[in-house]
Structure 1
Amino acid sequence: MVLKSFVEVHPDSHFPIQNLPYGVFKAEPDGGSRRTTPTLNKFLGLGRPAWKEARSTLQKLLSAAEPILRDNTSLRQKAFLPTDKVQMLLPIAIGDYTDFFASKHHAKNCGLIFRGPENPINPNWFHIPIAYHGRASSIVISGTDIIRPRGQGHPTVNSLPYFGLLAAVVGPGNELGKPVDVNEAADHIFGLVLMNDWSGTTISPWIVTLDALAQFGSDASEQNPPPLPYLAEKESKNYDISLQVSIVPAGQKDACIISRSNFKHLYWTITQQLAHHTINGCNLRPGDLLGTGTISGPEPDSYGCLLELTWNGQKPLSLGGTTRTFLEDGDEVIFTGCCKAYASENYDRPDEQPPSKPVPITVHLPSRPQFGESVAAVKIQSVYRAHVVRTLVRKISAVNSEANYWQKLIQRQETVDAVRTSERDRIKINEALMGLLFRLDSVPGVDPNVRELRRHVSRKIVGLQEILDAVSDARVEHWDGFLRDWDDIVAGIEKEVCKERGGGNEMERFCAEHLGFQCLQRFLRDQ
């Protein structure tokens, strides 16, 4: 059903009825009497059921089909205020602020600038989300003047860049000592704000909820190597949020667009960031802020900060008759972020697309049947059976792909260490493997090829379960009756992979890149 409001909204507005952001304001002296809560923190702590109920209620009251506000002029005057009659305030009391370094393209560019092409990204960056803890006291509302930083630096250079990012606003926190599961982390995130992390940190005055962004979810970036068990998501997603940065040079009126990026370029998702933050029991609280770090895309015009765009001042930008390598006093930086679905209509869900006009298709039917009924029936059955088999094979192949993922993960030394020290991690992986077996059991063996393929994948998963059990006590009773330790089992798996690769230098490179130091060590020992 199309969701429309009786309030007229410009087609290019970022805030139709589908996106009702939250904020805190105070009315100007002549703006009317209004009482607002000082911050949204208590509301954030109520959790997703309360957020959904509030969003649904507000959308209903503002919808074109609801007469309560639509037909009551007096009530509308009490409920609505002109935007030029209010002053937006910081929407939350921020207890703690953490800034992550989650964009692969940004990390690579910074590494190229400061370290060179030999090692642009440190290896540990691909294993955990890197972050630092910042001061919450310096976070201010967008529009606040920022003081140029002073202190240690080159005597002739005082470079001030900007860093375009978003930040997740924490909803319900977690108890001290109790990590948040990565697959439940979204329930601890209320929404997102735009952020500029420079001398001070500025955020947008309104929070866009994850519920409003849900229809714009997109597949997250491929992560290689696979993330550690506590960061492995059943459904890993980002959001398709277009980001744009403009600069109004000091003394000028017109803004110059200098960068266009997208939130979906993040390597580490916001749910992985939150789960990593709590893995050792750190307790988050409503209103805490988790910055994503600068969000850069793969192309030069999608770089997310002046450091990258000017390559540390080596490539000046042309801005309406003037140039910039870094910001100068009086410059204004404008960040925008928006999701666009259908420009002509406000649809509540992505599957509610505007109806298309019917296209006439001419079909020529034969004048008489070309086959007998029995032949036609056999042909139909054959085609249908082939369709069923293909469908079942695709299901088994999907399970096999996930089994390959878990096999690679289990072979990593980090996983071995994790499951040996954490019963929770071992149970989590075992439950995932059991889930794969259950999915295989649901595939009917209607064809010999399907049954054989199902048996093959099932054996692989059972073998992975036995290897997982071996991690706990370093020994496993293999199905052939022999008792072998963990290193022998891993070596056996690695040996099979090496045989498939054909051995030699190619095998050594493959092992070093994909299977880790343990396999490379065995390879060198055997030479």
Structure 2
Amino acid sequence: MTWLDLPADHPFGLHNLPYGVFSTGGPDGERRVGVRVGDHVLDLAACAERAGMESAVVWRGGSLDAFLAEGRPAWTAARAWLQDHLSDDAARDCVEPNLVPVGEVTMHLPFTVADYVDFYASEHHATNVGRIFRPDSEPLTPNWKHLPIGYHGRAGTVVVSGTDVVRPTGQRRPPTQEAPVFGPSVRLDIEAELGFVVGGPATGLGRRVDLDDADDHLFGVVLLNDWSARDLQAWEYVPLGPFLGKSFATTVGPWVVTTDALRAARVPLPGQDPEPLPYLRGRDGADGGPGTAYGLDVHVEVEWNGTAVSRPEYRDMYWSPVQMLTHLTVNGATIRPGDLFGSGTISGADPGTRGSFLELSWSGQEPLTLDDGSQRSFLEDGDTVTLRATAPGPDGSVVGFGECTGTVRPAV
């Protein structure tokens, strides 16, 4: 119990406590690190200073950067301290003056994105895209089940939820023409994903992160929308893969749900056949439970102009986040606090669980009808997309991720 009197089923109860960066008085206000507690945000530095905690210094900088660098022991200790203070009447004088109603804050990008990599970890999504883009070939490329495929994205265009997305311009080749044309994308899409936030000590060049150690570098998880210009992508992606069709914007949710808060959401992977090479092979869990290479039972909802059009399940993903991080570093690439990697589109076998509009409309052949009667295959100017997600917490509780939203604005 807590003096805050939070309902047991509140998605932002003491079992969750996600981190974010907020300001009051508008977007130009002083940025502060906070934790979501019910319908309030706790100013962490102010609370810790009032409690006489020397560790308050890691929360004073207006971003999570310093805290990310502290590593797993500090993250776990901070969580225990928060849960203790938020449930102890004796700490009320320390906590209560530093709670701000969530409706009175502006949320900001919670950390400086150091590097950004996006993976392609859903077998269902990769199969659907293969059938659409390469109808005369096998949908999965020969390497797909042997390694987590990804591409290096653009860290500087990762933006926080609520930021408008300007329609990208570039080259595309209409199907009726032999030569490319230049102009705004006409097949603008989304990809519903989870983003994994890396922390802990930076690794040196030439050193890899073993799978058994990868989890200690995973601080938390955000909702992530990998906006995608499918016509630009289709023209440019051979032979080197995504470039301008992906680099114009990636939206992340403002709340970083810690991996500690998601322990109860770990599930076994759906099965990997053929067995991965030894460096990607995790240990089995006890009694059929999640092993070292685990999945996550996260339920995602995709809303298009107020209409729920898809409900993907993250537990269907083929590759584990720890396998993705391990493979990212196996060639000796460094990682550092603030690195972000996306899971790739979350899609399932059922049409109602497809996580992109390319799949939902089957490349425009099967338009969707929204609740207002309008039809869509790809995004139009003024359209708004919102991602939401929840996961199971301990003792039947629910872990909330909040919202990840963006509105399309005309090309400039």
TM over 0.5: yes
Q: TM-score, normalised by structure 1?
A: 0.60
Aligned to 1:67: 89
* 1:410-429 equivalent positions in 2, closer than 5 A: none
Residue 13 of structure 1 deviates from its aligned partner by: 3.7
Aligned to 1:242: 299
Residue 340 of structure 1 deviates from its aligned partner by: 3.3
1:300-319 deviation per Cα after TM superposition (whole angstroms, max 9, x unaligned): 00001000000001100010
2:31–2:62: 8 Å Cα contact kept in structure 1? Answer: no
Partner secondary structure for residue 206 of structure 1: coil
Partner secondary structure for residue 279 of structure 2: helix
1:324 matched to 2:376: yes
Residue 16 of structure 1 deviates from its aligned partner by: 1.3
2:392–2:398: 8 Å Cα contact kept in structure 1? Answer: no
Partner secondary structure for residue 102 of structure 1: coil
Distance 1:40 1:88 in 2: 13
1:193 matched to 2:199: no
1:31–1:85: 8 Å Cα contact kept in structure 2? Answer: no
1:180–1:279: 8 Å Cα contact kept in structure 2? Answer: yes
1:313 matched to 2:364: yes
1:47-85 deviation per Cα after TM superposition (whole angstroms, max 9, x unaligned): 11111100001011111xx11244x3xx44422011122
1:15-42 deviation per Cα after TM superposition (whole angstroms, max 9, x unaligned): 1110000111112169998855222121
Partner secondary structure for residue 261 of structure 2: helix
1:463-507 deviation per Cα after TM superposition (whole angstroms, max 9, x unaligned): xxxxxxxxxxxxxxxxxxxxxxxxxxxxxxxxxxxxxxxxxxxxx
Distance 1:278 1:346 in 2: 35
Q: 1:328 to 1:142 in 2, by over 3 A?
A: same
1:184 matched to 2:213: yes
Q: 1:244 to 1:152 in 2, by over 3 A?
A: same
1:90-127 deviation per Cα after TM superposition (whole angstroms, max 9, x unaligned): 11111110001111000000001111264000011111
Partner secondary structure for residue 70 of structure 2: coil
Residue 263 of structure 1 deviates from its aligned partner by: 1.2
Aligned to 2:2: 5
Q: 1:110 to 1:97 in 2, by over 3 A?
A: same
1:53 matched to 2:50: no
- 2:256 maps to which of 200, 207, 215: 207
Q: 1:289 to 1:347 in 2, by over 3 A?
A: closer
Partner secondary structure for residue 6 of structure 2: coil
Q: Which structure ranks higher in relative contact order (CA pairs < 8 Å, sequence separation ≥ 6)?
A: 2
- 2:119 maps to which of 88, 95, 100: 100
Aligned residues: 333
Aligned to 1:485: none
Aligned to 1:23: 20
Higher strand share: 2
Residue 145 of structure 1 deviates from its aligned partner by: 0.3
Aligned to 1:167: 195
Partner secondary structure for residue 230 of structure 1: helix
1:256 matched to 2:307: yes
Q: Which runs of 5+ in 1 are unaligned?
A: 249-254, 349-527
Distance 1:165 1:29 in 2: 29
Q: 1:162 to 1:7 in 2, by over 3 A?
A: same
Higher helix share: 1
**Relative to structure 2, which stretch is displaced further, 150-159 or 126-135?**
150-159
2:189–2:379: 8 Å Cα contact kept in structure 1? Answer: yes
1:115-151 deviation per Cα after TM superposition (whole angstroms, max 9, x unaligned): 1264000011111111100110000001100000111
Q: Which amino acid aligns with 2:121?
A: A
Q: 1:112 to 1:92 in 2, by over 3 A?
A: same
Q: 1:160 to 1:231 in 2, by over 3 A?
A: same
Partner secondary structure for residue 113 of structure 1: helix
1:218 matched to 2:218: no
Partner secondary structure for residue 221 of structure 2: strand
1:40–1:91: 8 Å Cα contact kept in structure 2? Answer: yes
Aligned to 1:81: 100
Residue 9 of structure 1 deviates from its aligned partner by: 3.4
Q: Which amino acid aligns with 1:338?
A: T
- 1:277 maps to which of 328, 332, 355: 328
Moved over 6 A (4+): 29-34
Residue 243 of structure 1 deviates from its aligned partner by: 0.6
Which of 1 and 2 has greater Rg? 1
Distance 2:326 2:29 in 1: 44
**Relative to structure 2, which stretch is displaced further, 152-161 or 311-320?**
152-161
Partner secondary structure for residue 312 of structure 2: strand
Distance 2:150 2:345 in 1: 12
Partner secondary structure for residue 202 of structure 1: strand
Residue 237 of structure 1 deviates from its aligned partner by: 1.0
* 1:308-387 equivalent positions in 2, closer than 5 A: 308-320=359-371, 321-340=373-392, 346=397
Q: Which amino acid aligns with 1:257?
A: A
1:230 matched to 2:279: yes
Distance 1:150 1:45 in 2: 37
Distance 1:81 1:175 in 2: 40
Q: Percent identity?
A: 44
Distance 2:28 2:104 in 1: 5
- 1:289 maps to which of 316, 331, 340: 340
Q: Which amino acid aligns with 1:330?
A: G
2:11–2:397: 8 Å Cα contact kept in structure 1? Answer: no
Distance 2:376 2:199 in 1: 39
Q: Which amino acid aligns with 1:67?
A: D
Aligned to 1:110: 129
CA RMSD of aligned residues (A): 2.3
Q: 1:261 to 1:329 in 2, by over 3 A?
A: same
Distance 2:26 2:251 in 1: 26
1:177–1:281: 8 Å Cα contact kept in structure 2? Answer: yes
Partner secondary structure for residue 45 of structure 1: helix
1:14 matched to 2:11: yes
1:195–1:204: 8 Å Cα contact kept in structure 2? Answer: yes
Q: TM-score, normalised by structure 2?
A: 0.76
Partner secondary structure for residue 168 of structure 1: strand
1:31–1:86: 8 Å Cα contact kept in structure 2? Answer: no
